[in-house]
């Protein structure tokens, strides 16, 4: 086709398109009426706002005349976008905190845990007499667990605490969970550990009406952790052994807890456990709510032969401390000299 023929065909096509009654022309934004006031965003400019225009602080402008953004709103917007939880920007000012706390509905109850003892059947009989067994007094949140009527006296080098509750049913190893304040009262140097991780923990004495039991190890300061039921784990994409970030508290006490261990399975009901010291510092109590934010982190399981201690280098120390563990010469790890120095510098070392 010649250029003239192409132009003629194009003209005919344009003619036919213009003649169609069902043709909808593309929308055209009208020109704005007049000039906007300096520093003010006109209504028609809403689609062109930049992040710096989010939630302007009333009465505060930059030298260029633009509003100064509310930085809490920017922070909330960046966090929401990074976590993939929803559209940004979020509202600024007081509305930002509840919006972030909602965290897509992943809220959990807070359970404040007082000092208590988990115990073997053999130690029950030593403390309370041959043939003795734990008598349930009341159920607790976690399935099949209960607060027993039996109580013991916990004794350390510098003092003792009477009437410490036993939590049943019986376990394979006896373990005493204390707060850091309790440890100061007793004169114990107990490490921060997750329940069941008592290798190299502090020695302690238990006294009952029938006899006393001296434990070579077993006293720990319980690390914060989050129990999650199977249904909630499936809804939230969590698995046993994951680590998550938790936001809790209100106002000036609002706090973010990092690297909180997930414990999930049929024997777990959804609840985050803190000890009395932590709850008091954060200004929270049993029954209040906390939120899971962001995505979980997962650590691959490491195979190790029975009895072997993993070698820890200087680079590993901070990560172990973030999990709520402390380090010592009698602990489950073998540390390099540089790792020991790093642990002491970070306040994680419990040995001499």
Return the HEC string of the chain: CCHHHHHHHHHHHHHHHHHCCCCCCCCCCCCCCCCCCCCCCCHHHHHHCCHHHCCEEEEEECCCCCEEECHHHHHHHHHHHHHCCCCCCCCCHHHHHHHHHHHHHCEEEEEEECCEEECCHHHHHHHHCCCCCCCEEEECCCCCCEEEEEEEEEECCCCEEEEEEEEECCCCCCEEEECHHHHHHHCCCCCEECCCCCCCCEEEEEECCCCEEEEEEEEEEECCEEEECHHHHHHHCCCCCCEEEEEECCHHHCEEEEEEEEEECCCCCCEEEEEHHHHHHHCCCCCCEEEEEEEEECCCCCCCCCCCCEEECHHHHHHHHHCCCCECCCCCEEECHHHHHHHHHCCCECCC
Is domain 225-297 classified as CATH 2.40.40.20?
A: yes
pLDDT at residue 249 in the model? 87
Average pLDDT, the chain: 78
pLDDT at residue 59 in the model? 58
Lowest mean pLDDT among 98-107, 156-165, 253-262, 331-340: 98-107
Lowest mean pLDDT among 21-25, 47-51, 228-232, 250-254: 47-51
Count CA within 13 A, CB hemisphere, residue 170: 11
Quickly state the pLDDT bin for 237 (edges 50, 70, 90).
confident
- Is residue 203 within 8 Å of 215, Cβ to Cβ? yes
Residue 159 has pLDDT above 60, yes or no: yes
- Is residue 104 within 8 Å of 193, Cβ to Cβ? no
pLDDT digits (tens, 9 = 90+) for 5-20: 888 888 888 777 666 6
Residue 71 has pLDDT above 70, yes or no: no
pLDDT at residue 35 in the model? 58
All structural domains of the chain with their residue ranges: 69-96, 114-222, 225-297, 310-345
pLDDT digits (tens, 9 = 90+) for 273-296: 999 999 999 999 999 999 998 878
Residue 108 has pLDDT above 80, yes or no: yes
pLDDT at residue 87 in the model? 40
Higher pLDDT, 104 or 195: 195
Nearest to 208 by CA among 150, 138, 149: 150
Residue 224 has pLDDT above 90, yes or no: yes
Q: Maximum CA pair distance of the chain?
A: 113
């Amino acid at each position: 086709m010649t250029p003239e023929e192409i132009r003629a065909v194009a003209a005919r096509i344009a003619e036919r398109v213009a003649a169609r009654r069902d043709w909808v022309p593309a929308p055209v934004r009208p020109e704005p009426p007049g000039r906007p006031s300096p520093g003010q965003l006109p209504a028609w400019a809403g689609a062109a706002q930049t992040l710096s225009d989010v939630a302007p602080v009333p009465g505060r402008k930059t030298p260029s005349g633009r509003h100064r953004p509310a930085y809490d709103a920017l922070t909330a917007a960046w966090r929401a976008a990074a976590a993939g939880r929803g559209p940004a920007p979020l509202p600024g000012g007081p509305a930002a905190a509840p919006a972030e706390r909602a965290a897509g509905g992943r809220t959990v109850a807070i359970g404040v845990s007082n000092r208590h003892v988990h115990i073997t059947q053999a130690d029950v009989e030593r403390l309370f007499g041959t043939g003795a067994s734990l008598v349930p007094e009341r159920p607790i949140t976690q399935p099949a667990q209960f607060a027993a009527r039996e109580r013991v006296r916990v004794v350390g080098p510098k003092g003792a605490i009477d009437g410490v509750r036993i939590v049943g049913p019986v376990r394979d190893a006896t373990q005493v969970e204390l707060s850091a304040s309790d440890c100061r009262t007793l004169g114990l140097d107990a490490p921060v550990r997750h329940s069941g991780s008592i290798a190299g923990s502090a020695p302690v004495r238990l006294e009952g009406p029938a006899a006393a039991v001296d434990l070579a190890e077993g006293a720990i300061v319980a690390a914060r952790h989050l129990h999650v039921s199977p249904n909630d784990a499936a809804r939230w994409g969590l698995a046993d052994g994951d680590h998550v970030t938790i936001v809790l508290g209100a106002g000036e006490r609002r706090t973010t807890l990092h690297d909180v261990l997930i414990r999930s399975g049929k024997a777990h009901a959804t609840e985050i456990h803190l000890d009395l010291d932590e709850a008091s510092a954060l200004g929270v109590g049993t029954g209040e709510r906390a939120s899971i934010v962001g995505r979980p982190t997962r650590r691959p399981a490491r195979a190790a032969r029975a009895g072997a201690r993993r070698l820890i280098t200087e680079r590993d120390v901070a990560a172990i401390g973030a999990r709520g563990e402390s380090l010592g010469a009698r602990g489950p790890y073998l540390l390099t000299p540089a790792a020991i120095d790093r642990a002491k510098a970070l306040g994680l070392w419990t040995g001499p």
